[in-house]
A and B are shown apart, each in its own frame.
Chain A
Amino acid sequence: EAQVTQNPRYLITVTGKKLTVTCSQNMNHEYMSWYRQDPGLGLRQIYYSMNVEVTDKGDVPEGYKVSRKEKRNFPLILESPSPNQTSLYFCASSQTGGAFSEAFFGQGTRLTVV
């Protein structure tokens, strides 16, 4: 089954404790992206990757890092989480970026930073 898998689904952590949210896709997609979803703000793009070793900032990259060492994986790293990073996070993949390349989203990771 074609899917995007995120782990963990839920995470509560303390300020400053480094964490990684994993994302994996089994569709051989080139393009992957991370979003955060906050009430009233919709989804905002954090980082995206057009292919292995190619990443770029989205609209809200501050406080986040990503890497793309393999095509299927695109982890999101929070080196020093802060409470304003409490949010619902989604990973997505598509064959390419841009038009007419359907994006597939993971189930989401709800992160709480206390």
Chain B
Amino acid sequence: GESVGLHLPTLSVQEGDNSIINCAYSNSASDYFIWYKQESGKGPQFIIDIRSNMDKRQGQRVTVLLNKTVKHLSLQIAATQPGDSAVYFCAENRAGDFNKFYFGSGTKLNVKP
């Protein structure tokens, strides 16, 4: 069925290493994607977004890559810090239905000092 999901529920990385969090989607009408970070006890916080007419978008220490051929996007965090420990979600918005958002189940990122 249609889904927005994540390959790995938990990712552990060493402080200073780069992190890569993956997300798969299955709806070909998906037009806009967002990554959120959720720290324990808090609401999701916007990190970065990308539209389907782009392959890559960079922010501060974060990069989102979109591969429409295989319906996959990833969030890359450079020089991961302890403060990056959180659950990361991808979300999508679909052409023709742009008021609705569909979220993946999340990946927990653990940063080891």
Contacts and interface: CB of A to CB of B under 8 A. Distances in A.
A45 interface: yes
A40 B100 contact: no
Interface residues of B, number: 24
Interface string A92-108: 10000111101111111
Given A56-B99, A99-B31, A100-B32, A42 B43 contact: no
| Closest 9 pairs between A and B when the two form their complex, measured CB to CB | A105-B43, A98-B98, A99-B32, A97-B99, A43-B103, A42-B105, A42-B103, A102-B46, A105-B44
Interface of B: 4, 31-32, 34, 41-46, 49, 51, 89, 91, 93, 98-106
B99 to A, nearest CB: 4
A53 interface: no
A98 B89 contact: no
Nearest to B98: A98
A85 interface: no
Contacts of B104: 42
Given A98-B32, A99-B31, A99-B51, A33 B43 contact: no
A59 B43 CA distance: 20
B33 to A, nearest CB: 9
B15 to A, nearest CB: 27
Given A98-B99, A99-B98, A105-B45, A42 B89 contact: yes
